[in-house]
Amino acid sequence: MKIVESAPNFSEGRREEIVRQIMAQAEGVQDVWILDWSMDADHNRSVVTLVGSPEPLLEVLFRMTKKAMELIDMRTHKGEHPRMGATDVIPLVPVMNITMEECVELSKRLGERIGQELNIPVFLYERSATAPHRENLADIRKGEFEGFFEKIKDPRWKPDFGPEEVHPTAGVTAVGAREYLIAFNVNLGTTRIEIAEKIARAVRHISGGYRYVKAIAVDLKEKGMVQVSMNMTNYKKSPLFRVFETIKREAERYGVPVVGTEIIGMVPMQAMLEAAQFYLQLDDFDMNRIIESKILEILANKLKEVEQ
């Protein structure tokens, strides 16, 4: 069985009933499972993590995009997180018995259908990108929903699929195949956004930080603090614990404490194991020492025997 993961981001993080209606599009679809979902009022954004077989997963993602188009009006949307569409981004990640190249083809099929049937401009990003300047999602999203009405007139930003004008309420959507991404946020015990901005610059790749880190500063007004919000695009080469330690040391320079962290959506077990190894100073420890990992291995072998 081929398994693909997706974590579509929707521009709604304050009205739970809207998010639940979007997630309901997966109900009754065989071989698709919602693993996790989360909302953030400050970001005004939700993330839903799904896995499934390619064909039914594409169908669910299309239905979710259609429902988000019906329920979310980007003209009234405000939030701390950069955004350009009701369904802002749809990643496709190879998990089991499927290649990255196959996920690229799936992303093109989904993008074409969204463009043709929903009249939403679609941009392919990451491994699916059709030009180098479209690989980085942040570059596509620059200008956000409000700025895209002018941006889309530039030939360099002609959509890969769909109309060459922004959908008036649903905006534009990015679809692409990529590796695992960890959305990792670090909260700082201060309301000074300029400190979070300095720390974000210190860790993000584009300004001289870690190669596989994208970071922005976010003002969490409702919580009375600021945040360094990150996308970790390769946790194996830029580990969570290393980036966290850098943020903590940088914050100490300004007399600011780290008051908490959060992971949005799902995370690979290996990333958490590496953090445990670092902070507990464990020697010669690996996945084979994790009880749940061994149980899953036994169950997988039993399933293979049944299939044979």
pLDDT in tens, the chain (308 residues): 899 999 999 999 999 999 999 999 999 999 999 999 999 999 999 999 999 999 999 999 999 999 999 999 999 999 999 999 999 999 999 998 999 999 999 999 999 999 999 999 999 999 999 999 999 999 999 999 999 999 999 999 999 999 999 999 999 999 999 999 999 999 999 999 999 999 999 999 999 999 999 999 999 998 999 999 999 999 999 999 999 999 999 999 999 999 999 999 888 888 999 999 999 999 988 888 888 888 888 887 887 777 66
Closest to 221 (Cα-Cα) out of 74, 40, 29: 40
pTM listed for this prediction: 0.84
Q: Give the number of C-alpha atoms closer than 13 A to the C-alpha of residue 160, restricted to the C-beta side.
A: 23
Residue 68, phi then psi, degrees to nearest 5: -60, -40
* CB distance 176 to 106 below 8 Å: no
Which sequence positions are flagged as catalytic? 81
State the CB neighbour count (10 A cutoff) for residue 199: 26
pLDDT value at residue 307 = 67
State the CB neighbour count (10 A cutoff) for residue 103: 26
Q: What share of the chain is helix, strand, coil (3-state, %, to 5)?
A: 45, 25, 30
pLDDT value at residue 298 = 87
DSSP symbols for 5-65: EE--EES-SS-HHHHHHHHGGGTT-TTEEEEEEEEETTTTEEEEEEEE-HHHHHHHHHHHH
**Spatial separation of the C-alpha atoms in residues 121 and 218, rounded to whole Å:** 27
